[in-house]
Amino acid sequence: MLRFTPYAWAKLLFLREAVDVEVSGFGITPADDPLCVEDIVLVPQTGETAFTSMDDVGVADFFDEQVELGRSPAEFARVWIHTHPGRSPTPSGVDEQTFDRCFGRADWAVMFILAENERCYGRLRFGHEPGFSLDLGADVTFDHPFEGTDHESWQAELDANLTVLEPQTVCGPDLVDRDEFFDE
């Protein structure tokens, strides 16, 4: 189970609702509980309705900052969290490629996706090829103090780090709503 503190879960819900594009971030976890997300930190990125891309220099700067704070990679670089603005939390082919490219050499990593109506997808992967994976559920843990929401600073972080790209016309002028394929 991937657990979120109330603060981290509230921030993730805010990020999902704040814009109608995908938003990516890194889960910050305590050293002694690597599957408990205490915060989600954004880095400079571009986002579209069905795509998110974190800036390589922004990721490198984030890693440097986290090491300067005394954190190990297991506390800041193993849990990739992003939103899907539609109803489906299922990872896309691009999500899978990103997970492999960015986290494929880590001894373990998590991909977590939150879509509408709190639908989520989580997977913990151990090792690289051949390795193995486990599906993860999500839960909000109340074992940690809840400092409350901070919409103002969350919006400032989002504004400082997200560049929204205009949708690209791929299938001609009559595009199909991707959510119609995921109706229950």
Average of per-residue pLDDT across 80-86: 95
Predicted TM-score of the model (pTM): 0.81
pLDDT at residue 171 above 60?
no
Number of domains in the chain: 1
The pLDDT of residue 76 is 97
Q: Encode pLDDT of 98-109 as tens digits.
A: 999 889 889 999
Of the candidates 18, 90, 8, 14, which has an alpha carbon nearest to the alpha carbon of residue 47?
Answer: 18
Residue range of the domain that includes 80: 2-153+161-182
**Which CATH number goes with the domain that contains 47?**
3.40.140.10
